[in-house]
Structure 1
Amino acid sequence: MTVQLAPAPRQAHRKRTPPQRRMARFDLRGVPYLLVSPYFLLFAIFGLFPLGYTLWLSLHDWELAGDKSFTGLANYTELIVDAEFWNAVFNTVGIFVLSTIPQIVLALLLANALNKRLRGRLLLRLGVLLPLVTSVVAVAVIFSGLFARDYGLFNWMLGLVGVEPIAWQNEKWSSWIAIATMIDWRWTGYNAIILLAAMQTIPKDLYEAAALDGASARVQFWKITIPMLRPTIVFVVFISTIGGLTLFTEPVMFEGNPQMTGGTTGQYQTVAMFVVEAAFRNYEMGYASAAAWLLFVLILIGTAANYWFTRRIGGSR
């Protein structure tokens, strides 16, 4: 007679992960978030908080050293009918168009030239960055002298061909050209280096195959280089849009005084100058905050429009 013993009750054993596996899993999943967390923390302090605080200020009638009262959207409705604000918007967009379009075109051509086999390529590539390391104040002072009415170099050159001297600061179109020239001289080389770095990642086999098919250098540039550079061109256009629509230092130094008026009739006052004038000369912090938020909306619109346009470069749909 055999006696069968009842099976022992199963005990639920919880699988314990060894410490080494837990650390490996944390290294794989947790460390990346830990490493990028300082950036998001700093962005929250110096980015999101100022945005939220500026939005809150824009809803108040707030003097810099006075009383404050909640007014809702009154600052925005007042800005919409403010002729000086729209003049600043018009100036900003005009200078942006005059500076950005030639800047991107020249940067593309310059990057394509620096990508060729040239003697002293390293020195040439370093040379295009010299304007960037130059103080923007020094650049503005030098160009203000170049565009001077009586003793400026550009008026002297115009005089050689029989053109009357131009008072560059007095007219809207001439001041725009002068400021756009300063911007292009300073930032074209920077954009060219970014585009050059992207050009060097394009496989050489594409150019060799195109050359075997009889494609000229111009055809290779439009059919290979430009389409392959599309993501980089989008990035360059983005940063140029943000920088162009927040233009401040060049027109202030071109004006030559801290009034922030952009000339006697505001002929080259930008939105950034309008914000500073409203905040620190007229002491209207709420009004200036509302103008800053409308500038933010303008940047979003300009960036979206440029993104839509640049996505179609090279036949993208």
Structure 2
Amino acid sequence: MATSTTATGRAAGPRPAGTADPGPTPRRQRLRTLLYRLDSKGSPYLLVAPFFLVFAAFGLYPLLYTGWLSLHKVSLYNVNNSQWVGLQNYSDLFSGSLSRFFWNALGNTLTLGLLSTVPQLVMALGLAHLLNYKLRGRTFLRTALLAPYATSVAAATLVFALIFSPEGGMANWVLHLFGIGPLNWEAGHWSSQFAIALIVTWRWTGYNALIYLAAMQAVPGDLYEAAAIDGANRLRQFWHVTVPALRPTILFTAVVSTIGATQLFGEPFLFGGQSGHQGGADNQYETLGVLMYDQGFRHSMLGRASAIAWSMFALLLLLGLVNTLIARRLRRD
């Protein structure tokens, strides 16, 4: 037999059989309803709040603060003492005293991006296609593809700088085997950019190959069987089945590689470290990232460095828009 309790919590004796439980009081019911609404509506915001807090602290605030600095004349050693100059820093970049270096760095950034991104994605697609077959040692090969990506930028660049050294470098030794004289890879415009693009390609090809491989394994096998019945060989299956199925993945890697190429800094900065010329003695491989570092930390001009940073941001938005338009065009086709 059930018992009932009083408001003080003491037992009030057995409740007669057949008597219904009065249930919670209206006050408790309102409290439960309120807690349920807070849990159902407030929990999603609490779960995503850490991301927005971190983004606001380390993403949005630095972006806005850099934009504020780009409109001032600020010294690295006296940040609190700033002078409002408006768009003068941008004018110096585009048509003023720094315009020669800015347009040269912009051109180097675009050419290095093309020299590294296009071969990188093509080679990654080919490697992924080979690894998609049942080869011996596939696990080892897939692991080996990630080794360059796991290598630090500094270590990879310094090793390649020794390979392309004009005195005793392996690259000149290979050229000597073909009867070609030694080259000063760092001094030449295209030779230095080729060497830096090779470093970037070496580091990121395996990473993109594994992304393509994962996408290839998601392609239904029925498509390949139907193509084989129609008489398509492996090459035709690759071009007419695999590549169309990987179109979204290819666009993703193209966008990510474009962003990485626009922000290229470590490789061109360290490639000339042995000679003391970051970006080259004649700025032949100086990128926007290296120019921003040069203005901000060598010349102590944070305003100009911030203007370069915002110019890079605008360039990324423009390239992202171009990639979006290309993606929409390909989807229509």
TM-score normalised by the chain length of structure 1: 0.89
User: What is the identity percentage for the equivalent residue pairs of Structure 1 and Structure 2?
Assistant: 47
Displacement, 1:306?
3.3
Larger Rg: 2
Q: What letter matches 2:60 in structure 1? A: L
Q: Deviation string for 1:25-44 (max 9, x for gaps)?
A: 66655433322221121111
2:73 aligned partner, one-letter code: D
1:98-137 matches, cutoff 5 A: 98-137=115-154
2:301 & 2:271 partners in 1: Cα distance?
25
Partner of 2:245: 228
**What is the CA–CA distance in structure 1 between the aligned matches of 2:287 and 2:174, rounded to whole Å?**
29
Alpha carbons of 1:105 and 1:27: their partners in 2 closer, same or farther (altered >3 Å)? farther
For 1:91, what is the secondary structure of its paired residue?
helix
Matches within 5 A, 1:269-288: 269-288=286-305
2:82 corresponds in structure 1 to 68
- Aligned residue runs from structure 1 range 214-253, under 5 A: 214-253=231-270
Are the counterparts in 2 of residues 199 and 229 from structure 1 also a CA contact under 8 Å?
yes
Answer yes or no: is the 8 Å Cα contact 1:128–1:189 preserved in 2: yes
Deviation at 1:312, TM superposition (A): 4.9
Relative contact order, higher structure (CA 8 A, sep 6+): 1
Is this contact kept in 2: 1:261–1:274, CA < 8 A? no
Q: How many equivalent residue pairs?
A: 302
How far residue 264 of structure 1 moved from its aligned partner, in angstroms, is 0.9
Q: Does structure 1 retain, via aligned residues, the 8 Å contact 2:268–2:278?
A: no
Distance (Å, rounded) in 1 between the aligned partners of 2:84 and 2:65: 14
Q: How does 1:1-317 map to 2 (within 5 A)?
A: 19=32, 23=36, 29-66=41-78, 67-81=81-95, 82-256=99-273, 261-309=278-326, 312=329, 316-317=332-333
Change (3 A) 1:220 1:260: same
**Cα displacement (A) at 1:135:** 2.0
Question: Which consecutive unaligned segments of at least 5 residues does structure 1 have?
Answer: 1-12
Residues of 2 paired with 1:28 and 1:211: CA distance? 53
Contact 1:149-1:168 at 8 Å conserved across structures: yes
Partner secondary structure for residue 68 of structure 1: strand
Deviations 1:195-236 (A, max 9, x none): 111111111111111111112212221222112111111211
Greater Cα offset, 101-110 or 215-224 = 215-224
CA RMSD of aligned residues (A): 2.2
2:271/2:278 contact within 8 Å kept: no
SS of the equivalent of 2:258 reads helix
- Structure 2 spans left out of the alignment, 5+ residues: 1-25
8 Å CA contact retained: 1:59, 1:73: yes
**What TM-score do the two structures reach when normalised by structure 2?**
0.85
For residues 269-297 of structure 1, the C-alpha deviation after alignment (integer angstroms, 9 at most, x for no partner) is 11000001000100000011001100111
Q: Deviations over 1:127-165 (max 9, x none)?
A: 100111112211111111111112111111111111111
